[in-house]
Structure 1
């Protein structure tokens, strides 16, 4: 009876531990989250000092994160008002970006896959985008083509945006609460 109780206790402990680890890694890379509006990043996820939850999440997803010396990746799954990004809607990203030598902006579906479309475009780079005179950007996302900086969303119900800043002065290595101002994301119209 005593050995049965010990086995049951160990099984429950293992199940609870694995379950909590899975919950901690299913939406992000564990603790160390830094937010700036709708944009989120885990700056230490690609470093040698990454916590075990970040390492588990990266292994589960099969991702290779940026080393902090190379750059930093910000992900947005909601607009600035907190609404989930819906690819059936018209969405606008506008504002100034943190200083970086080079950046990429990519739109993906809810599973993190590039969105197939007739325009064969899934993102912009700092070299491709048309800049505003004041140095800010204005990028439209939506299911219908537009003039200017437009990214097709393929009318997916859930999309995510990833903004990668390369060779940037954004220094989040030692801080865990400060993030640079990031562009706003607004849902303009929805069918």
Structure 2
């Protein structure tokens, strides 16, 4: 005859208190590292977006033009320095001048090298200026052998009249600046020895960028 007793029944599995505490600690540490990773990824992503789109601190928006007046000074903020590093170019010191870029036209549409644009209006006072077209990599958009920029000495205009430059993939009469037909282009305007380097603001007058046609 089989006797019943405590040994006849399966005993419940008991977990030690120290093991449970270890599991909780592991979950806590894992959660902390996961939160830190998500925070770092989010921060880096927002910083990259700000630098890439010109929306960071220290970037001045004047119509379609973007300027970082302090980029060439010791007062340059981290965003301005990051933009300079991304471009891979040396910024102009305030004593030398000011560089401006444009990625969109006056209507806010992204500049497209397959379209035709007119850059017109009065240039700010400057001893010398250049206007060029570059691609996404900030290399000249036009192929070798074609004009890649205009200077204040080369552009055709009557004295004291606003400039009128046409940007297009195919030749145009007058001041034609080839775009190379790239899907995305940028304009770079450099003003040398200009008084607005230290006084530029959102009310500073700059040439308009107008889309004429798009194929």
User: What's the TM-score once normalised by structure 1's chain length?
Assistant: 0.88
User: Match of 1:110?
Assistant: 136
Are residue 134 (structure 1) and residue 160 (structure 2) matched?
yes
Structure 1 position 36, deviation (Å)? 2.2
For 1:33 and 1:54, the matched residues in 2 are separated by 7
Q: Confirm or deny: 8 A CA contact 1:29 1:54 kept in the other structure.
A: no
The structure-2 alpha-carbon separation of the partners of 1:20 and 1:135, relative to structure 1 and needing over 3 Å to count, comes to same
User: Match of 1:188?
Assistant: 212
Correspondences of 1:7-156 after superposition (within 5 Å): 7-28=33-54, 30-117=56-143, 119-156=145-182
Hey, which of these two has a bigger chunk of helix by percent? 2
Rg larger in structure: 2
The structure-2 alpha-carbon separation of the partners of 1:178 and 1:83, relative to structure 1 and needing over 3 Å to count, comes to closer
For 1:141 and 1:80, the matched residues in 2 are separated by 14
Range that drifts further, 24-33 or 146-155: 24-33
User: What's the TM-score once normalised by structure 2's chain length?
Assistant: 0.79
Hey, which of these two has a bigger chunk of strand by percent? 1
Give the unaligned 5+ runs of structure 1: none
SS in 2 for 1:8: helix
Q: Give the paired residue count.
A: 189
Over residues 142-170 of structure 1, what are the superposed CA-to-partner deviations in whole Å (9 max), with x where a residue is unaligned? 11112221111122222111110000010
Q: Confirm or deny: 8 A CA contact 2:111 2:184 kept in the other structure.
A: yes
Instruction: Pick 1 or 2: higher relative contact order, CA cutoff 8 A, min separation 6.
Output: 1
Give the unaligned 5+ runs of structure 2: 1-24
What is the root-mean-square deviation in Å for CA atoms of aligned residues?
2.1
